[in-house]
Amino acid sequence: MAESRSLFEFKQFSLYHGNPGLKISTEACLFGAWASLKARGHCLDIGTGCGLLASMLAQANPTCSVKALEIHPEVAKVASGNFQKGPFKGRLKVTQTDVSEYNPDKKFDFICSNPPFFTNHLASSDEAKHMAIHADYLSPAELATSIERLLTKEGEFAVLYPADVLALFEQSLNANGLFINEKVTIHSNPSSPVLRIMASGSREKSTIRDGRINIKTEQGDYTPEFIELLRPYYIIFPS
């Protein structure tokens, strides 16, 4: 096991993460819990990393099967190892590929992604980390095109982006006949700026529903809405 790799223990599964690839972040966990409420049927996690989103989707939806794509070979091995040791291994499968080259037998009812988003940013010396955070490997336009190609007619998708990159992604979505139906801004606390935006959508155009979640209060405690979403997963929140 890589020396700097950590084990993140959830209530129903555990994931090795980091080295290679990125470590699990709080906003990624929040997004996974939120997206899992929307997931159904045949699901796809684009850029799975250590397998966080796919595992959360599988826990929340016992009838879902989840395909997880990861472009970096060593990171894909980490995800595969995590799945094999976990309780949902029969419904999770990792494929090491670039999503633009992925041609499955059938389309997906739900697609989620916590994609790379840095543009015009200094390169990381760690190849796996660079691929995980830099949009050179999956631009907003490429993700939008891939979702359109892989989504069923009635399917839904969910993504996690910074506000400025989400705006670029939304332009590409609309050009591909897809639309955002809901946006929820994530804030560290009530007075902090937007950290990330969770967005979901489909092929149906509608008035966008707006929401907000603060991770912590001004006093530094987790907020009730954060606790409610993460209660099924975080050991620190009793059931």
- For 110-164, what is each residue's pLDDT tens digit? 999 999 755 444 444 444 444 444 445 689 999 999 999 999 999 999 999 999 9
Q: 2: pLDDT confidence band, cut at 50, 70 and 90?
A: very low
Structural domain total, the chain: 1
pLDDT of residue 132: 41
Give the rounded distance of the alpha carbon of 131 from its chain centre: 15
Establish if 236 belongs to a structural domain: no
Q: Please tell me the distance from the alpha carbon of residue 170 to that of residue 180, in angstroms, as a whole number.
A: 7
Establish if 237 belongs to a structural domain: no
Sign of the alpha-carbon dihedral angle for 154, 160, 163, 166: negative
Taking each helix axis from N to C end, the angle separating 52-60 and 26-36, rounded to the nearest 10 degrees, works out to: 30
Q: 10: pLDDT confidence band, cut at 50, 70 and 90?
A: very high
Q: What count of other Cβ atoms lies within 10 Å of the Cβ of residue 22?
A: 21
CATH number at residue 75: 3.40.50.150
Count of helices and strands (H, E) across the chain:
7, 10
Is the entire prediction scored with pTM above 0.85? yes
pLDDT of residue 136: 52
* pLDDT for residue 191 is more than 90: yes
pLDDT of residue 120: 45
Which structural domain range is residue 14 located in?
Answer: 6-230
Pair type for strands 14-17 and 108-113: unpaired
Establish if 171 belongs to a structural domain: yes
- In this predicted model, what pLDDT tens digit does every residue of 28-69 receive, in sequence order? 999 999 999 999 999 999 999 999 999 999 999 999 999 999
* pLDDT for residue 74 is more than 90: yes
Establish if 53 belongs to a structural domain: yes
Q: Left, alpha or beta for 229 (phi > 0: left; psi -120 to 50: alpha)?
A: alpha
Take residue 153 and report the two structure tokens written for it: 């007619």
Establish if 1 belongs to a structural domain: no
Percentage of residues in the chain with pLDDT exceeding 70? 89
